[in-house]
Amino acid sequence: MELRNYLVLPLILTTLLSGCSLFNYEEDVIKMSPLPKVENQVHLQKVWKSSVGKGVGDFYSKLHPAWLGNSVFAADRFGIVKSLDTFSGKEKWRIDLSEKTGFFSKNISALLSGGITVAGDHIYISSERGRVFSLNSSDGSIVWQTQLNSEALSCPVVSDGFVLIHTSNGALHGLDQNTGKEKWDLNLDVPLTLSLRGESTPATAFGGAIVGGDNGRVTAVMIKRGQIIWQQLVSLPGGTTEIDRLNDIDSTPVIVGNVVYALGYKNVMTALDLRSGEILWKRKIGGVRDIVVDHGNIYLVDKEDRVIALTADGGATIWSQNALMYRALTSPILFNGWLIVGDSEGYLHGINTIDGHFITQKKLGSKGFQSDFVVADDKLIIQSKDGDIYALKKHL
């Protein structure tokens, strides 16, 4: 049995948030925290609004905008990819990657799921159908496309002449950046029991890639050869139910100096030595969203949607903001020195990084957010679940 991210978190949350218990016991009901009342100390101003297709809806997806210079790139699940002007939001080009089935037939959704990644003059995006695309960033034309043997759910990562893709069967693939030809694939193993939908996007440094696995392991791989350097088991399955035994590490590891920081679902926030994989410290904090490491602090959203700040050198708690629990938060991002998260009702929440108090709140539509936000110079680029794209900046 396989239970992927969009089934574990949103399904449980929507079931519970509707006021019904998963087990029909009143004491098991978990409700979304009410919207906190915030007196805005700073303000976010909308610079422009655009859209890209129908977005991702309620499907789990790692699709998010990307930015380079004068262009913002965005995509929807169906297959629409657009380039927008960074300053005005005006469309520069558009391509449809859905499959053409005939003159009178509807196109088949491309099921885009991972990306967008920008590297040089190209953008990269992957799909649940196992396809990886390289497009010209100037006009959207297809440079190459490669078919893999499993869903490509992670974001493509470009490093050392390779495009790295972590697929749902637990394999890490190394594709030639220029041609898309598969140079190697490495089996990182997947558990035989329940797992979350989604795969860890690799982090890269010094010719190596660090990636989390569904088996509770963090693996270091030599990119040019596709060889394992080390593997470290950081989380063991345990509990009486399959959900209790979920053991995935789906968030993107973060490399700072010679330390790797990895967050797993099963109550494990871990710091490891980059060279050896030795565990430096652990904390019983679990989650699936990507983390931020900045100026000696770690910022994360745990699986109950607490926003937490830790010290990077030992994992001590600095503060915990619990007013947004079960609001299905996005990964956090730093913007203008604040921490920003979005929620499932379409609200943005700005949090002071020093003590965790709210400094701003803004409503953007009603469909909510799932994808990671992007900072583009002085602008914050956001994509809602229905495909609306917003550019915001600090109001002076």
- The domains of the chain are located at 5-394
365 burial class (0-12, 13-18, 19+ CB within 10 angstroms)?
A: middle
Pick the more confident residue, 198 or 172. 172
26 phi and psi angles, rounded to 5 deg: -55, -35
Q: 């990077």: which residue's tokens? A: 312
CB 42 within 8 A of CB 394: yes
- pLDDT on residue 20: 40
The predicted model scores a pTM of 0.89
Could you tell me which of 10, 4, 31, 1 has the C-alpha nearest to residue 324? Answer: 31
Q: Would you state the CATH architecture of domain 5-394? A: 7 Propeller (2.130)
154 phi and psi angles, rounded to 5 deg: -80, 160
Q: 């509707």: which residue's tokens? A: 18
Band of the pLDDT at 12, cuts 50, 70, 90? very low
Band of the pLDDT at 374, cuts 50, 70, 90? very high
- pLDDT at 192 > cutoff 70: no
CB within 8 Å of 301: residues ≥ 6 apart? 287, 289, 307, 308, 329, 330, 331, 332, 341
User: Residue 61, Cβ neighbours under 10 Å: how many?
Assistant: 26
- pLDDT on residue 16: 35
Its sign, for the CA torsion 326, 330, 333, 338, is negative
Please tell me the distance from the alpha carbon of residue 265 to that of residue 255, in angstroms, as a whole number.
Answer: 19
Mean pLDDT for the stretch of residues 321-340: 97
Please tell me the distance from the alpha carbon of residue 215 to that of residue 247, in angstroms, as a whole number.
Answer: 6
Mean pLDDT for the stretch of residues 330-359: 97
Mean pLDDT for the stretch of residues 228-244: 76
Q: What are residue 241's DSSP bridge partners?
A: none
